[in-house]
């Protein structure tokens, strides 16, 4: 028998959202530090790509947590 996985509760989603936001801020700081030192541009590019992926995850979670209101 296959059971349907439970949907995460709103509290769990809020915690995950805050974790992703913190990781996004940390990446931003790391990118700034590397760029300031003139470090490896490939590493900066990779971090920016990861940061963008995090932003997409953050947006998706925010959309799940915010109910659609049709005016």
pLDDT digits (tens, 9 = 90+) for 2-22: 665 676 788 899 999 999 999
In a domain, 18, yes or no: yes
In this prediction, what percent of the chain has a pLDDT beyond 70?
87
Domain span including residue 32:
10-65
The confidence score (pLDDT) of residue 49 equals 97
Give the chain's radius of gyration (CA, Å): 17
The confidence score (pLDDT) of residue 35 equals 87
In a domain, 51, yes or no: yes
In a domain, 31, yes or no: yes
In a domain, 34, yes or no: yes
The token pair at 1 is 């028998």
Tally the domains of the chain: 1
Give every residue of the chain whose pLDDT is below 70, as ranges.
1-5, 7, 70-71
The confidence score (pLDDT) of residue 33 equals 92
Q: Read out DSSP for 6-40?
A: PPPPHHHHHHHHHHHHHHHHHHHHHHHHHHHHT--
In a domain, 2, yes or no: no
């Amino acid at each position: 028998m296959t059971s349907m996985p439970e949907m995460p509760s709103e509290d769990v989603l809020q915690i995950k959202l805050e974790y992703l936001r913190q990781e996004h801020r940390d990446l931003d700081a790391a990118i700034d530090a590397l760029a300031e030192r003139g470090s490896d541009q490939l590493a900066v590019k990779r971090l920016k790509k990861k940061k963008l992926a995090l932003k997409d995850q953050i947006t998706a979670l925010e959309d799940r947590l915010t109910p659609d209101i049709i005016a």
